[in-house]
Amino acid sequence: MIKPGSKTSKHPSPHGRQHPSNPLKDKLHEIIFEADTPAGLVFDVCLLVAILASILFVCLDTVVALQKTYGLFFWYMEWFFAILFTIEYLLRLYCVKRPWRYATSFFGIIDLMSFLPTYLIAFISPGTSFAVIRALRLLRVFRIFKLMRLLNEADEMGRAILHARAKIVVFFAVVLISVCIAGTLMYEIENFGIPLEQRAHRQFSNIPEAIYWAITTMTTVGYGDIVPTTALGKVVSSMLILLGYSLIIVPTGFVSAEFMSIKKKTATTRNCQSCATEGHDSDAIYCKYCGEAL
Amino acid sequence: MIKPGSKTSKHPSPHGRQHPSNPLKDKLHEIIFEADTPAGLVFDVCLLVAILASILFVCLDTVVALQKTYGLFFWYMEWFFAILFTIEYLLRLYCVKRPWRYATSFFGIIDLMSFLPTYLIAFISPGTSFAVIRALRLLRVFRIFKLMRLLNEADEMGRAILHARAKIVVFFAVVLISVCIAGTLMYEIENFGIPLEQRAHRQFSNIPEAIYWAITTMTTVGYGDIVPTTALGKVVSSMLILLGYSLIIVPTGFVSAEFMSIKKKTATTRNCQSCATEGHDSDAIYCKYCGEAL
Amino acid sequence: MIKPGSKTSKHPSPHGRQHPSNPLKDKLHEIIFEADTPAGLVFDVCLLVAILASILFVCLDTVVALQKTYGLFFWYMEWFFAILFTIEYLLRLYCVKRPWRYATSFFGIIDLMSFLPTYLIAFISPGTSFAVIRALRLLRVFRIFKLMRLLNEADEMGRAILHARAKIVVFFAVVLISVCIAGTLMYEIENFGIPLEQRAHRQFSNIPEAIYWAITTMTTVGYGDIVPTTALGKVVSSMLILLGYSLIIVPTGFVSAEFMSIKKKTATTRNCQSCATEGHDSDAIYCKYCGEAL
Amino acid sequence: MIKPGSKTSKHPSPHGRQHPSNPLKDKLHEIIFEADTPAGLVFDVCLLVAILASILFVCLDTVVALQKTYGLFFWYMEWFFAILFTIEYLLRLYCVKRPWRYATSFFGIIDLMSFLPTYLIAFISPGTSFAVIRALRLLRVFRIFKLMRLLNEADEMGRAILHARAKIVVFFAVVLISVCIAGTLMYEIENFGIPLEQRAHRQFSNIPEAIYWAITTMTTVGYGDIVPTTALGKVVSSMLILLGYSLIIVPTGFVSAEFMSIKKKTATTRNCQSCATEGHDSDAIYCKYCGEAL
């Protein structure tokens, strides 16, 4: 179900094997960065459990009732995970070929951020404002990004999104234009004939508020904290709703077509014996590159 | 529209015919486990009606107003269905080759669970706590799982989901990461400058609550029980909404592509003996590449 | 954009021409049942406008404020449209070959229902209960079904849905099972420890109510009239939401694949000169039915 | 990511080069109407930033709290952008071959509307009603349409929607029929036995209101401002919800198929001169059917 990050694992390892290097370092690298050995798989599963458990404790720590009863336990668990992630970070630093490059990479920074706030809170002077401590405590939630290392199926999905990016820009531009126009119209319709000063206490109090309403409406979220009350407002919002309900069809269709064409290319694995090229259609008789019969 | 569970019906029947066995047992097996005979079809339709009716009575029994008036009728109906499902269970046990294997299978346990609670409630001592009786009563709703036996179209859909499972894991990981980050941000933004003790009585009272809000928002459910009230909170939730609104596109596109390739494979299974080409339509008589008869 | 109902128009007309019939009748039939002549198109557009306008007046007539001011005007318009639809009905009866068959068909009944309630209300005795009159008045809204005659693109969509019907049954069965289980669980979770009598005044007052909540939640409607208040209830509803959010992917993917395969078949219009068959792939060299070169 | 409007840029430029014209005019045309030169790209990015910034200030100007503090700054910014868009408009008028044609085109009018309201507000007599000034002020939001010039990926999407337009009409007709019928039913069900005069103060006060509810429900928006309260009303709304939840599948599937076939057509445009086959990949060197060089 979960495979190691392909880029991270494949890139440094060939170098590591070319040099006559430390066998412990090699072994560690294999366990930590690769998932195709049993030890590597066990490491990945343990890391997954540790990430999810540590996030859970950070979240539960903000529930006042639980914090009063289990506060000390949460504190011990926090230190347990902080030390665990510190060890993981140091091991990663030790076994990669270029520690500095890892330390400054996206995952290096995420790994560092997963334990640093815990130490900072501990060494902070008692006079520091509560808000700073709190912000630091909540930064620990960002260790959820460590999960991304365990996913490498995102590659193909990323490619489909990349191919469809121009369409996605158009899609978001249409959404942006729609919510701006609809928000402005609704602000004026719902407040028609009401002086500017009194509008502040009404539902569509200003255009940004009306745009927020338009976004929640067009995407079919529909909180209901702001709702149209005039007849014309209801007609305009019905039209916006129907636009949003049908607009999502277009990017869905486009991304489907994109996935299909990626799938088609990767599905045809026939090789030409003459020129060793791939990508021939299943109904091809001759190699399309060298002209030899397949 | 509804066909018998293919695995259950096809598996035991060839064995049943190899042995010189009881003709009544064979006949019963055909009626109960297979749907391609008229008697089997009638049995399946009756079972479907019985399942749905019994669920309906269990549900209506919890409506206080109806319970007061029709309570006794519901009780009789409950016993009627319990005895019906008992007979069905005993017949299934009788006519399968390996009763124990059936009894310990998923459907065997579901079948047992569909009548057992009714007997347990009847034979329970008056001193038993109300909660136990209630839990037992509600277990009867689980007989809805008996419906699954009547569906076998799920096979192909299951295969598409199975092929796309790695992508689905990535999809849910992105959702999980998004709701954790958004929930934590909103908890801090909406409660900025408010002491920890007072937060418990506010909307985003703690991170788990904020994550629950993030889930209802990102999936466009939007109950409106918890809504952002600050300007920055509205901006962040607008971004989360737009992410959720567009995120669903990616797995939809991928599953579409998966279904298409399954459809294509099952459609093209014929080879040309003369030129060995594939991809011939199921209605083709001659090879479309070399003109030889298929 | 809008074409005449293909079945209705093509079927009776060849018969009409075989017989040496009334030229007025033929001309009327062409105007009323076919849309490929200018007169027929004008008739269809007028009919569309009349249907939509008459529905609009029926709807506005229920707005108390408007009814007081424009009640008489609405009444005149109602009679205008009723007489118009009566004339249309009589003309249709007159020019079809088999009036009885038309009168008992789906569209014949819809056409009759579009003016009958107006006459019934007029000829009703003053002593009739208000509810009967009201029900009759509202039946007039059903004339919206007359719109369906103007649509014939529904054919291909109907075919895709027909092909996918077994999957749609599975999809709805999964939804049904999910909402039953989730509703029962939520009813018990949210009311845990509360006596049966007091539950009637709470949010999840009974299982049918809880199932209604589960439907609005799973489909991401999320009214917010019933919301979970317990921690466990929020966890269960989050899971139900995520299930509903991702479940819609499967039928979407399947219907996409279905449309694609229908499109593929209808897209290939190459004819074989030798055997006059259609449906050859764009890359076919020889006719797949007779083996002749295309 | 963003390309210049292909129609606008390609059409006038060849004419401009045929005539021995002003080199400054040519240079300006290239910068303003084309995006493939560095200067043109810089111009497009600046225009994008100016549009978004000016919209932001128009929106923030309606927030009473901000208006009081930064009102003067917003007013200066407004004039800055109005003058900027005036200069842009005059330059466009100057460098196009046919100024009148541009001035009366969609983008010409949008460009004019983006600065005209600002001047009108300034030159308006003090006695003019507040509503007129306000309407003029809000017209400035329509300058968001200037964004559309920067998008040309919409072409292909527009083509897919155009191909699917007949289906989209059917889809909207089904939605219209469903909401009319459901709205009327719910109006009657929820108000059953209640005199007409008292209905005005209830949730489903009239049919247009009930249709508005049906639209918000069917599209899964679910504000919760109007919710069914009767048992039968909840059953009907559950059915409408399930219809809306599954209806969106059909157009999604159809547009997917449309995109796929457009993608396929644009991918295969090469013919084999030797065997006249089509369907060769864009990277093919030899014909895959006869082996000749393409």
pLDDT digits (tens, 9 = 90+) for D217-248: 999 999 999 999 999 999 999 999 999 988 88
Contact A176 D144 (CB under 8 A): yes
**A33-37, A260-264, D21-25, D223-227: which is most confident:** D223-227
Question: Are A30 and A10 in contact, with CB atoms under 8 Å apart?
Answer: no
pLDDT exceeds cutoff 50 at B208: yes
Q: CA torsion A185→A190→A195→A196, rounded to 10°?
A: -50
Which residue out of C256, C258, C286, C288 would a mutagenesis test of the A interface target, given it has the greatest number of A Cβ atoms within 10 Å? C256
Is A252–B257 a contact, with Cβ atoms under 8 angstroms apart? no
Model confidence over B217-249: pLDDT tens digits? 999 999 999 999 999 999 999 999 999 988 888
C232 CA: distance to closest CA in chain A (Å): 14
Query: Is residue A107's pLDDT more than 80?
Result: yes
Residue A108 pLDDT > 50, yes or no?
A: yes
Query: Which of left, alpha, beta for B128 (phi over 0: left; psi -120 to 50: alpha)?
Result: beta
Q: B208: nearest CA in chain A? A: A59
Q: Is the pLDDT of residue B18 over 70?
A: no
The closest CB to that of A62, out of B180, B207, B277, belongs to B207
Q: Tokens in use for C58?
A: 């029926």
Nearest CA in chain A to D221: A220
Of D55, D157, D285, the CB nearest to A289: D285
Write down the pLDDT at residue A165: 81
Per CB distance under 8 Å, which residues of D are interface residues toward B?
220-224, 252-253, 256, 289
Can you give C58-119 as a three-state secondary structure string? HHHCCCHHHHHHHHHHHHHHHHHHHHHHHHHHHHHHHHCCCHHHHHCCHHHHHHHHCCHHHH
Asked if B160 contacts C170 with a C-beta cutoff of 8 angstroms, the reply is no
> What was the pLDDT predicted at D131?
67
pLDDT for residue B93 is more than 50: yes
Q: How far apart are CA D218 and CA D171, in angstroms?
A: 13
Which of C192, C207, C241 has its CB closest to that of B62? C207
> Does residue D11 register a pLDDT over 80?
no
Alpha helix (H) residue ranges in B124-269:
130-139, 154-163, 165-190, 196-199, 207-218, 231-247, 249-267
> Taking a C-beta distance cutoff of 8 angstroms, is the pair A28, A43 a contact?
no
Q: Where is pLDDT greater, at B240 or D145?
A: B240
Find out whether A137 and A116 touch, Cβ atoms under 8 Å: no
Q: Given this model, what pLDDT does residue A82 score? A: 92
Please tell me the predicted confidence (pLDDT) of residue A265.
67
Supply the angle between the helices C106-113 and C64-95 in degrees, to the nearest 10: 140
> Largest alpha-carbon pair distance within chain A?
82
Q: What percent of chain A has pLDDT over 90?
A: 31
Q: Which of B215, B135, B39, D44 is nearest to A221 (CA)?
A: B215
Q: Residue C222: its chain D contacts at CB < 8 A?
A: 220, 222, 224
pLDDT value of position C8: 41
Q: What is the DSSP string of chain C?
A: -----HHHHHTHHHHHHHS---HHHHHHHHHHH--SSHHHHHHHHHHHHHHHHHHHHHHHTT-HHHHHHHHHHHHHHHHHHHHHHHHHHHHHHHHSS-HHHHHTSHHHHHHHHTTHHHHHHHHS-TTS-HHHHHHHHHHGGGGGGGGGGG--THHHHHHHHHHTHHHHHHHHHHHHHHHHHHHHHHHHHHTTT--HHHHTTSTT-SHHHHHHHHHHHHTT---SSS---SHHHHHHHHHHHHHHHHHTHHHHHHHHHHHHHHHHHHH--B--TTT----B-TT-SB-TTT--B-
Q: Which residues of B touch D220 (CB under 8 A)?
A: 220
Q: Distance from first CA to last CA of chain A, Å, rounded?
A: 36
Q: Which residues contact C98 (CB under 8 A, 6 or more apart)?
A: C12
Task: Please give the residue of chain B at the shortest CA–CA distance from A252.
Answer: B249
Partner-chain contact C212 D167, CB within 8 Å: no
Distance CA D1, CA B179 (A): 28
* B195/A144 Cβ within 8 A: no
B·D CB contacts under 8 A: 12
pLDDT < 50 positions in chain C: 1-18
Note the pLDDT of residue C17. Answer: 45
* Closest approach of B153 to chain C, Cα-based (Å): 6
On whether the CB atoms of residues D112 and A142 are closer than 8 A, the answer is no
Amino acid at C140: R
Find the closest chain C residue to B282 by CA distance.
C288
Which residue of B lies nearest to C179 if distances are taken between CA atoms? B144
pLDDT at C166: 80
Can you give the pLDDT at residue A20?
Answer: 55
Q: Using pLDDT thresholds of 50, 70 and 90, give the confidence band for residue D279.
A: low
Residue with the bigger pLDDT between B47 and D276: it is B47
Instruction: Give the pLDDT band of residue A184 (cuts 50, 70, 90).
Output: very high
Q: How far apart are CA C163 and CA D207, in angstroms?
A: 36
Domains of chain D: 20-150 (1.20.120.350), 163-265 (1.10.287.70)
- Percentage of chain B modeled with pLDDT above 70: 79
The single-letter DSSP state of residue B100 is: H
pLDDT digits (tens, 9 = 90+) for D167-176: 888 888 889 9
Q: State the alpha helices, DSSP H only, in A61-152.
A: 64-95, 99-103, 106-113, 116-123, 130-139
CA–CA dist A135, A132 (Å, integer):
5
Q: Which of D28, D136, D37, D23 is nearest to D91 (CA)?
A: D28
Query: Residues of C227-244 as b/e, b for ≥16 C-beta within 10 angstroms?
Result: bbeeeebbebbbebbbeb
Contact B134 C257 (CB under 8 A): no
- Rounded to the nearest integer, the mean pLDDT of chain A is 81
Residue A11: per-residue pLDDT = 44
User: Who has greater pLDDT, B172 or A273?
Assistant: B172
Q: Is the ipTM of this complex over 0.95?
A: no
Contacts for D124-130: CB closer than 8 Å, 24+ residues apart: D130/A195
Q: Are D160 and D257 in contact (CB under 8 A)?
A: no
Distance from CA of C256 to the nearest CA of A (A): 9
Kindly list the residues from chain B whose CB atom is less than 8 angstroms away from the CB atom of residue C192. 131
Q: How confident is the model at residue B37 (pLDDT cuts 50, 70, 90)?
A: confident
pLDDT per residue over A39-80, tens digit each? 888 998 899 999 999 999 989 988 888 888 998 999 899 999
Gap between the Cα atoms of D11 and D34, Å rounded: 11
What per-residue confidence (pLDDT) applies to A286? 63
pLDDT at B247: 86
| Phi, psi of D293, deg, nearest 5 | -65, 140
For chain D, the straight-line distance linking the first and the last C-alpha, in angstroms and rounded, comes to: 33
B243 to chain A: closest CA residue: A219
CB B260 within 8 A of CB C260: yes
Angstroms from A249 CA to nearest CA on chain B: 9
Q: How far is C238 from chain B (nearest CA, A)?
A: 7
What pLDDT was estimated at residue A52?
92
Structure tokens at D172: 């909207």
Q: Which residue has the higher pLDDT, A149 or B52?
A: B52
What is the pLDDT at residue B32?
Answer: 85
Distance in angstroms (rounded) separating the CA atoms of residues B118 and B107: 18
| Torsion of Cα atoms, C229 then C230 then C236 then C239, to 10° | 60
Q: What number is the average pLDDT over the span A103-132?
A: 82
Angstrom CA distances, B245 to A206, C245, D126, D279, stand at: 24, 10, 46, 36
Residue among D153, D152, D219 nearest D182 (CA): D219
Q: What is the pLDDT of residue B207?
A: 92
Q: What is the pLDDT of residue D2?
A: 40
Q: What is the C-alpha to C-alpha distance for residues A256 and A268, in angstroms, rounded to an integer?
A: 19
List of chains touching D (3+ CB pairs within 8 A): A, B, C
Chain D residue closest in CA terms to C261: D257
Using alpha carbons only, what angle is made at residue A202 by residues D140 and B239, rounded to the nearest 5 degrees? Answer: 65
Q: How big is the CA angle at D123 (ends D117 and D129), to the nearest 5 degrees?
A: 80
> Considering CB atoms only, which of A187, A234, A289 is closest to D62?
A187
Q: CB A242 to CB D172 under 8 A?
A: yes
Q: What is the mean pLDDT of residues A17-30?
A: 73
| Residue D183 pLDDT > 90 | yes
pTM metric for this prediction: 0.84
pLDDT at A210: 94
Contacts of C253 in chain A (CB under 8 A): 256
Percent of chain D with pLDDT over 70: 79
Find the chain B residues whose C-beta atoms sit closer than 8 A to any C-beta of D: 220-224, 252-253, 256, 289
Out of C104-118, D42-56, D144-158, least confident range: D144-158
Q: What is the mean pLDDT of residues D1-20?
A: 43
Q: Is the pLDDT of residue D78 over 80?
A: yes
Q: Is the pLDDT of residue B128 over 70?
A: no
Sign of CA dihedral C95, C99, C105, C106: positive
Q: In the predicted model, is pLDDT for residue B179 greater than 90?
A: yes
pLDDT at res. B217: 95
